[in-house]
Amino acid sequence: MPRRRRQQRLERVLGTPALFATAYGNVGSSIYYALGLVAGIALGLTPLVFVISGLIFAATAATYAEGTVRFPEAGGSSSFARHAFDELVSFGAAWAQMLNYVITIAISAFFVPHYLSIFWGPLRTNPWDIVGGAIVIAVLVLLNIVGIREAASLNIFLAVVDFATQLLLVLIGFALIFSPRQVFSANLHWGVAPTWSSFFLAIPIAMIAYTGIETVSNLAEEARDPPRDIPRSISWVAGAVFAIYFTLPLVALSALPVRHVGGGFVTKLGQGPEKGGFANDPVLGVVEHLGLHGTILSGAKIYVGILASTILFIATNAGVIGASRITYAMASHRQIPEIFRRLHPRFKTPWLSLLVFGGIISIAVLLPGKTTFLGDMYAFGAMLSFTIAHASVIALRVKRREREMRFRARPNLSAGGVDWPLFAIFGGLGTAAAWLVVVVQKTDARWVGFGWLVLGLILYAVYRRYVVHVPLRETVRAPVLIGPAIALEYRSILVPVKPGRESEEAIDFACRLAAERRSSIAAVSVVVVPLELPLDAGLPEAEAEANEALDAAVAIGELYGVDVIGRLLRARRPGRAIVREAERRQTEIIVLGAPRAERPRRAIFSETVDFILKNAPSRVMVVAGKKAAAA
């Protein structure tokens, strides 16, 4: 198998449980720094802050579920905005996402040495945590450029272990140290500790607990059945994260309660190590004060320290990959120079985007070593990106009110001929208000954040006007990159499949083509839904046949060492669905299986193949036995 990054696909991780585990591995990692960051601001009201931010996140999760099912492609809010508004708004969302990824990389890497301090104490403080974090980023960027492949099964295993460990800490905490009187009475000083301004500031900062919601959107292209798998996995992630963030702060503030010290109120959960606090490793602080002793305590600290640093290392890598993906998407839509989507000549990875956004900028943000600044900047970018996502879903409901939807999030309110998404309206108001709180209260975040946006818009305008020569709002796609001296260097191949020999021959031929050129293959199987049924109607027999064909395609790909992504589509007309999928994926060639001459009445595609030949956005190759004809 060629040694390359293969765009970090999780080809065989396609169902709801696997999507949940993969996403939770990223979202759930934030507990290891968000708990201390929020507790330092919200003090005894930390559990309430996490509940409020959790409600906003639930609305945001519903928005991402609907938007991602509508457009199952990497990009998240940027993709939603492109379809709802125009390319300029899409760029704003993408640029805010880029800021989120940069901060996620920096803060996750920054906390890796904090949890490894169980082996060497100085890693908890500056400058060694900065040095350690920078080394983590540099190593991961280098590994991604060289093309070391992620072990998807290991990531899923660690995500499950992580969730189980967090749940175990909650259960032990409730059994040994939880104090309702302490949490619901002694810790509370309404309007004083924290002040109301600090309380409202803590809400957007607490949204850092939900870093990684874009992960499911980025995995949408690998989901076999997006209308079913994506909403379920997002709701599972939201429920699991909400459960942990509602219960673990109760245990944490029982273990490390709010105290009156020197004329003010503090909790060691939010104090730095120079004051004997655990802001740099809050979960280790909770473990240390669970009431455990001796060997059990030492073993628990080592276990949590190693697990936390491993999970944060993986989360940093996810940020690096996410930054390269959003950069590639932006360059593909001519939002930034095309050089950022070019692959390394040897390793076939987007080395420049990895180096600049995953490495240099992330390390630059990390160098001050200020956790609070990183949290403020994440809140600035995330709240802006989430607000655009909510606005996009609302706009799509209005603009495409007549279009049939495969999935519709709830609750909704029908008025004026529009099914208004109440979840997006509530979530949009919440994230917009949270963004304004950060802008008003945090001077550094305000100026750096606006500086980031202004710089991006200037570069975007200059590039669009003087290089691409297109209007700022127009959507254009970068031309397909053709390999040197090779006219047909197909990097993206689409193969429609159904049960039967013809489809197997088509996928076999596509795999041989892909193996020669290190290409990716998308195998699509269309379930035709009758007009009298809704698009999301269950058709068990047809779905089973479609999944059987997709499984066969994936199995054939494994024999050739080729990545085959299976996608199940529901549509009224299979030809139109296949053409739309080819357009969305920027497919460079469609390979169709045709019937053998001696069995003309057993054609798989019949009218469908004719429609594809007439309307395909790319070349089409028809495979008939061992003969192929290019169209």
Yes or no: say if 233 and 222 are a contact pair by the CB < 8 Å rule: no
Query: What global pTM score does this model have?
Result: 0.80
pLDDT digits (tens, 9 = 90+) for 1-24: 333 333 333 333 346 676 777 677
What are the mean pLDDT values of the chain's consecutive 10-residue runs (631 residues total)?
33 57 75 91 93 90 87 81 93 92 92 94 91 95 77 70 89 92 91 91 86 66 71 82 89 92 88 90 92 90 92 87 84 88 76 90 92 90 93 93 79 90 94 94 93 95 92 81 43 85 83 72 88 80 87 83 83 87 82 64 62 85 59 47
DSSP structure class, residue 340: G
pLDDT at residue 571, as a whole number? 86
Amino acid at 530: P
pLDDT at residue 4, as a whole number? 31
pLDDT at residue 224, as a whole number? 67
Yes or no: say if 295 and 287 are a contact pair by the CB < 8 Å rule: no
Buried b (16+ CB within 10 A) or exposed e, 443-453: eebeebbeebb
pLDDT digits (tens, 9 = 90+) for 98-148: 998 999 999 999 999 999 999 998 999 889 999 999 999 999 999 888 876
User: Is the fold of 6-177+191-249+287-458 the same as that of 492-630?
Assistant: no
pLDDT at residue 361, as a whole number? 94
pLDDT at residue 150, as a whole number? 56
Yes or no: say if 43 and 193 are a contact pair by the CB < 8 Å rule: yes
The answer for residues whose C-beta is within 8 angstroms of residue 190's C-beta and 6 or more apart is none
Domain range summary for the chain, segments of one domain joined by +: 6-177+191-249+287-458, 492-630
At residue 529's C-alpha, the angle toward residues 527 and 531, to 5°, is: 160
pLDDT at residue 416, as a whole number? 85
Tokens of 123: 């890693």
Residues 68, 70, 74, 80: is their CA dihedral positive or negative? negative
pLDDT at residue 441, as a whole number? 93
- Its CATH class, for the domain covering 492-630, is alpha beta
Per DSSP, what are the bridge partners of residue 627? 624
Q: Which of 32, 28, 55, 160 lies closest to 107, judged by CA?
A: 32
Separation between Cα atoms, residue 248 and residue 262, nearest integer Å = 28
**Which CB contacts under 8 angstroms, 24+ apart, belong to 146-154?**
146/347, 146/349, 147/3, 147/4, 147/5, 147/6, 147/347, 147/348, 147/349, 148/5, 149/4, 149/5, 149/6, 149/8, 150/8, 150/10, 150/317, 150/321, 152/10, 152/12, 152/13, 152/22
6-177+191-249+287-458 carries CATH number 1.20.1740.10: yes
